[in-house]
Structure 1
Amino acid sequence: MGKRTYSTSDLSRKSGNIIADALRSPVTITQRNKPRLVILNIEDYQRLKAKADPRKAGTLGTMPEDLLLEIEHAVETFAKDDRADG
C-alpha cells in the first residue's frame, strides 16, 4: 500500500478516512501542494523515537557547569602531561 496524501482542507472533511489510513501507514498532509505534516500510528512514532539520536549540539554557554569543569580539568591534565613529555 502506497503512502497516502491529503490536503489541509481534507482534514475537516475526511478526518475519519485520514485516521484510518494513518493507522495502516503514514499519511502526508499538504498545504498549497507542499508536504507540511505526517500523521502516523503510535507504534511507528515510538519506533522512530527509539531510533532517534539522543545527542544534542550545544555551546560552552549551554553546557552544564559540572561537565564544563570536568572538561577543563581534563584539558589541564593533558597540557601538564604534554609539557612533562616535551
Structure 2
Amino acid sequence: MTTFPSSDWTRKSGDIFEAARRGPVTITQRKRPAFVVMTVDEFERLKARDTRRHYTIDSLPDEFFAKAEAEIERMKREGDE
C-alpha cells in the first residue's frame, strides 16, 4: 500500500489521488497510519464483503441470545469448579 505523510495532502494531492486509483493509500500522521484514501468502487467492494451485523439487546435474534445465554452458563459452571 502506498503511504504519504499528512503534510503531503495539500502539496501532492494529485499524486495521492493518482496512487489511490491504483489501490488504497495510507496517510500517516506523526509516522503512524491515520487515514486511508481509496476509490469509491473499492470502498463499495469492501462494504459489500462486510457481513457483520450489530444488534441491541432488544433486537438480538433469539438464536444469538440462546447461544450467549448458554455460553454464560458454561462460564459460570467453569468458575464453580
Residues of 1 paired with 2:49 and 2:28: CA distance? 26
5+ long unaligned stretches in structure 2: 63-81
Deviations 1:4-59 (A, max 9, x none): 10011110110000000001111000000100111111111110010112411322
The equivalent of 2:55 in structure 1 is: 57
- Aligned residues, how many? 63
Q: Does 1:42 align with 2:23?
A: no
Letter in 1 for 2:35: L
5+ long unaligned stretches in structure 1: 72-86
SS in 2 for 1:37: strand
SS in 1 for 2:44: helix
Q: Share of identical aligned residues, percent?
A: 39
Structure with max Cα Rg: 1
> TM-score, structure 2 length as denominator?
0.68
RMSD: 2.1
The equivalent of 1:32 in structure 2 is: 30
> TM-score, structure 1 length as denominator?
0.64
